[in-house]
Structure 1
Amino acid sequence: MELRHLRYFLAVAEASNFTKAAEVLGIGQPPLSQQIKSLEEELGADLFKRTARGAELTFVGEVFAEEARLVLESADRASRVAKRAARGEVGHLRMGFTGTAAFNPKFSDLIRRFREGFPDAELTLHEATSGVLLEALEAGRLDVAVVRPERRRTTTLLLQDWDEEPMMVAIPVGHRLTGRKRIALAELADEAFVQVPREAGSALFDDIVAACNAAGFEPRMTQPAPQIASAVTLVAAGLGVSVVPKAITQAQVAGVIYRPIVGNALHARLAIASRRGDTSAVVSNLISLA
């Protein structure tokens, strides 16, 4: 029994006439009659009573018609869902993001537009450092991630530059440089730095060290922080200063002041990371919005 047999049967049932049903289906009346006869033989029961005026459903035919309609409705629904899945309108997207990305207005706008454009797609968000996110992406635990680019090369991941923002200096209230509108990196030569370490996976650490070296000193990294947001909290506690992306300034942590760096010497980049060759439509939809 095939779906077409059910459609043929219901067409005859609705028309109560083989000839009219054949016209609706666009096939000949003899082939239609043969299909119905084969269906009846398979079921071991008559579905129609042939009359001078056409065809009437038997009791078995009436019962079978109810179930046939449900089967076809389910098949049509399955077809629609499959086509929507192929377009990425439904499905599950596991998306990672580094902590500071959450403070970037482009990130919140991306999530909002994805939700509006694909309301039936399930979105799960995971926050972690860039290194952890990229490892999870390579392992297949994530589908896409917003990260701070790494210097390490990978053949399995694709990183597309997405945004760039200036870095700022975070200093505690009452610091000697509080009165400055801008701070030169050289003025931080004697300061203790609170930064996310190189092991966390982001290239920011190396960029900060290189910029400080260019300013004539080696930064004194005294207190590692698990996340950039955590570094700001440690600055408020008086453990040192920190160089952070501008987006983090939206985190109004009591006891911390942010100042631009003279000459805009440092910038932090965000990238959209995905697996090379990933054919997922829902991933493609997210990236197209980005």
Structure 2
Amino acid sequence: MTLEIRHFRYFVAVAEEGHITRAAEKLGMQQPPLSQRIRLIEDKLGARLFLRRARGVELTREGRVFLEIARSLLSQHEGAFEAVRRAARGQTGRLCVGATPTSVFHPIVPLSIRSFRDEFPQVRLTLEERLPADLIKGLRDESIDVAFLRAERYEEGWLSVRRLLTEPMIVALPTGHRLACVTKAIALRDLERESFIIFARQTGPAFFEATNAACRQAGFSPTIGQEAPRITSALNLVAAGFGICVVPFSVSRMDMEGIVFRQLKGPVRPTAPINIVSRRNDSAAVVRNFLIRVQKAKAAANQK
């Protein structure tokens, strides 16, 4: 006979009850089959585990040793099953969240992450800030599970894209700029002669396209100055007086010396979306749980 998990349960029940009949009732079985199983276990081990007394059974020295082993094995067995169940529910494991350099400034990103970590503390969550092309590559090779991205459209058919919000874009000016003293919103047409600092078109074309389209609709083509790979480098160029930059409204949360932010007015104003993007056929529970928390964060942000 090969000892199975059920045999260890039989033995532990008898040892804890000290009585075969009561153990049989606890296990939902008859007393004779249980007695037979205990004898088979003893035969298999070649050791006597119980002393039979008039009012029950008593563990032998060998029985006490086997009880420790049986309890440990049952605990490991249940622990393994529970670990798998928790992973299947998305309560354990790992999750890599990606975000573009500008999306991290919007409250929905930290709110989503904080909400998820509070509810699923045993999931190891990491945040990767990368350029859009790198985020999509990470989603493709599965080094990233979900990402906050800004583009209006996506060519990759394997992506699942959910629009979270669309925020207005504003203009970042150096503090010494002629329009910096204007406290009201600025018309996009008033920026016609300015040098625009833009994000690199090859790695993140969304803002360039939005800015360029809005300027054309306002009646002019923007003069492109320098390209910057990230929002921080773009704003540093603005602060140094190299030009102006159109950025999402949430970037104004950054307190940066040498820069003022002004809203744009007029019938044509560029906007910046935030999407939550994942792989279309990804059925991982941990990803599903995060997407649910993102939607809850969206609802909470809309109520403010």
TM, length-normalised to structure 2: 0.91
The Cα of 1:54 is off from its aligned counterpart by 2.5
Contact 1:132/1:201 (<8 A) preserved: no
Number of the residue aligned with 1:29: 31
CA distance in 1, matches of 2:36, 2:278: 54
Amino acid paired to 2:221:
E
Task: Tell whether 2:280 aligns with 1:276.
Answer: yes
Number of the residue aligned with 2:188: 185
CA distance in 2, matches of 1:151, 1:278: 20
Which residue of 163, 175, 178 corresponds with 1:173? 175
Contact 2:152/2:273 (<8 A) preserved: no
Contact 1:169/1:243 (<8 A) preserved: yes
Number of the residue aligned with 1:212: 215
CA distance in 2, matches of 1:115, 1:202: 32
CA distance in 1, matches of 2:237, 2:230: 11
Contact 1:193/1:223 (<8 A) preserved: yes
CA distance in 2, matches of 1:237, 1:153: 36
The Cα of 1:79 is off from its aligned counterpart by 2.4
Contact 1:249/1:258 (<8 A) preserved: yes
Contact 1:100/1:229 (<8 A) preserved: no
> What do residues 170-203 of structure 1 show as CA deviations (whole Å, max 9, x unaligned)?
1111212223322222222221111112211342
The Cα of 1:230 is off from its aligned counterpart by 2.0
> What do residues 133-160 of structure 1 show as CA deviations (whole Å, max 9, x unaligned)?
1111111110111111253411221111
State the SS of the aligned residue for 1:176.
coil
Contact 1:185/1:261 (<8 A) preserved: yes
Contact 1:150/1:202 (<8 A) preserved: no
State the SS of the aligned residue for 2:219.
coil
CA gap 1:246/1:12 in 2 versus in 1, 3 angstroms: same
Contact 1:195/1:228 (<8 A) preserved: no
Give the percent of matched residue pairs that are identical in Structure 1 and Structure 2: 45
> What do residues 49-100 of structure 1 show as CA deviations (whole Å, max 9, x unaligned)?
2233322222211100011111112222222222222221211111111112
Q: Which moved more, 1:202-211 or 1:89-98?
A: 202-211
State the SS of the aligned residue for 1:200.
coil
Task: Tell whether 2:239 aligns with 1:229.
Answer: no
Amino acid paired to 1:285:
N
CA distance in 2, matches of 1:24, 1:242: 74
Which residue of 266, 271, 285 corresponds with 1:267? 271
Contact 1:229/1:248 (<8 A) preserved: no
Number of the residue aligned with 2:131: 129
Amino acid paired to 1:270:
I
Contact 1:148/1:202 (<8 A) preserved: no
Amino acid paired to 1:265:
R
Contact 1:131/1:202 (<8 A) preserved: no
RMSD (Å), alpha carbons: 1.5
Task: Tell whether 2:260 aligns with 1:257.
Answer: yes
Q: Which moved more, 1:117-126 or 1:178-187?
A: 178-187
Number of the residue aligned with 2:298: none
The Cα of 1:106 is off from its aligned counterpart by 1.5
Contact 1:88/1:282 (<8 A) preserved: yes
Number of the residue aligned with 1:289: 293
CA distance in 1, matches of 2:283, 2:176: 53
Number of the residue aligned with 1:38: 40
Stretches of structure 2 that go unaligned for 5 or more consecutive residues are 295-304
Amino acid paired to 2:144:
L
Runs of at least 4 residues off by over 4 Å: none
CA gap 1:70/1:202 in 2 versus in 1, 3 angstroms: farther
Number of the residue aligned with 1:244: 247
TM, length-normalised to structure 1: 0.95
Amino acid paired to 1:87:
R
The Cα of 1:254 is off from its aligned counterpart by 0.8
State the SS of the aligned residue for 1:99.
coil
